[in-house]
Structure 1
Amino acid sequence: MSRVTARRRTLRISPNGTITRPDTLAVEEPLEIRTGGQSLTVTMRTPGADIDLVHGFLYAEGIIDTAEDIVSARYCAGTDENGQNTYNVLDVQLRTPVPVRPRPFLTSSSCGLCGKTALDEVRTRIRHPIPAGSPRIDVHTLAKLPTELRSRQQVFDATGGLHGAGLFTADGEAVAVREDIGRHNAVDKLVGWALRENRLPAQDLILMVSGRASFELVQKAVMAGIPLLGAVSAPSSLAVDLAADAGLTLVGFLRGETMNVYTGEDRIAL
């Protein structure tokens, strides 16, 4: 398989002078997703858990409903300058083929949809409405989740360049953690894992992400039936609108005991 890290020469400048040394970087490579041999989309990702990523992406976009909707997934031939397979093209055979055509995926910020249209699009694709009021999580447990997530980001430790996403129980126990150069890919890998493990809808779990809470991340949480999304940085206005519309608890600027609860505060036990 492709590597998740790579070494590159760098000039290190500091008050103590300069030094030339190798640095460890997160690998970023394209993954082309095909269905029935035809190209569906291309995403830039960190190699690893590609099967989960594809399951999560197709589920979030409403193309599949269960893991059984994917009959097979195989890497296509593609080699680098050394003749090694790049593993950058994944062809998925669907149980019920879908027509491949240009389409405005909701996870693309350049899709051209206005806010109202985007909310309407998500409403039509929701499979599992989020139940009101549960689960409830103690605010002190919630405050620990960023640290718990960070402690499990092994590739971030080596590179400092990956987003993290984790699924946790209401007691703060980590169920699964994924990393990727793209925050949406990290969540897709988690959702794909949960789909393959028959854990969807994940109505008893909490999603924690290492960056900001964009519309696309809230959309993926809603599609997976996840009732609470925590982020260490800010949400967007459309993310808050979607969370409120879907009944999802959205927490931003989650740093230590300080946080902003934008929607669904009834799930936070003070």
Structure 2
Amino acid sequence: MRTPGHDEELAAGFLLTEGLIHNKKDLLGIIPCPDVQKAEEAGNVVRAELAAHVQVDFAAMERHFYTSSSCGVCGKTSIDAVRTASCPVLPAEGPHLSYATVHRLPERLRAAQAGFEQTGGQHASALFSPTGELLLLREDVGRHNALDKVIGAALLAGWLPLHQHILLVSGRVSFELVQKAAAAGIGVLAAVGAPSSLAIQAAESFGMTVLGFVRNERFNVYCHGWRLTERAE
């Protein structure tokens, strides 16, 4: 299930975060698919053309898709398997950010959530600069989709890897969101809600900073807090 719009970005982000492609050069193009089998598929199916050097193991795809809106990992994968496929350990570098910058993020996210303002039912994912400037935001009824759209937009714009960006999500942090963020090279994942224990374990393994309950000028640091440049008052 998805919110229509930014479908090319959604497909591109999904291909990257599932480990089917690794950079923009692997993807030749994405177009709406005109040959659909059912009327309801019209406008809801896209065709992605991959570069000749990209090899896709379709059998492995069926066994090891990392995410599902209904059940998540479902025991099909492990952190080691995900890292091997698409998520190398992140470099020990930025972004370095201040506590004041983190405190500003939720307000800036909320002010830009046009879809949530209209419906009250859309998740948001947003990329910020190390100083807290909002660079890119996408909304979707599915939180995994919102993140895939943001990552896909960044991929198509040639921004990857996103080592110097901060990701803020409007809900909680699951293992799947950590995996997707790591695939894009994101070093800091902040959330308005809480992270799961498996998400923290994965982020610790990947070298990713995770911040939770980022609201009301407070937040918790769960792992790799060295990217924060000052102590909380």
Q: What is the TM-score of this pair, normalised by structure 2?
A: 0.89
Instruction: Count how many residue pairs are aligned between Structure 1 and Structure 2.
Output: 222
In the alignment, which residue of structure 2 is the partner of 1:65? 22
In the alignment, which residue of structure 1 is the partner of 2:12? 55
| 3-state secondary structure, aligned to 1:54 | helix
Structure 1 residue corresponding to 2:141, chosen from 181, 188, 196: 181
In the alignment, which residue of structure 1 is the partner of 2:184? 224
Unaligned segments of structure 2, at least 5 residues: none
Unaligned segments of structure 1, at least 5 residues: 1-43
Structure with more of its chain in helix, by fraction:
2
The reply on whether 1:190 has 2:190 as its aligned counterpart is no
Root-mean-square deviation (CA, aligned residues, Å) is: 1.9
- Structure 2 Cα separation of the partners of residues 192 and 259 of structure 1: 28
Displacement of 1:127 in angstroms is: 5.5
Decide whether the 8 Å contact of 1:133 with 1:266 is kept in 2. no
| 3-state secondary structure, aligned to 1:198 | coil
- Structure 2 Cα separation of the partners of residues 125 and 99 of structure 1: 12
Structure with more of its chain in strand, by fraction:
1
- Per-residue deviation, residues 211-265 of structure 1 (Å, max 9, x unmatched): 0000011111111111000000111010000011111000111112211110011
| 3-state secondary structure, aligned to 2:213 | strand
Runs of 4+ in 1 over 4 A off after TM superposition: 78-81
Structure 1 residue corresponding to 2:33, chosen from 63, 76, 82: 76
Higher relative contact order (CA 8 A, sep 6+): 2
> What amino acid is the match of 2:23?
T
The 1:213/1:111 distance shift into structure 2, 3 A limit, reads closer
The reply on whether 1:137 has 2:137 as its aligned counterpart is no
> Rg larger in 1 or in 2?
1
In the alignment, which residue of structure 2 is the partner of 1:98? 56
Q: What is the TM-score of this pair, normalised by structure 1?
A: 0.77
In the alignment, which residue of structure 2 is the partner of 1:15? none
> What amino acid is the match of 1:64?
I
Displacement of 1:128 in angstroms is: 5.3
The 1:167/1:92 distance shift into structure 2, 3 A limit, reads same
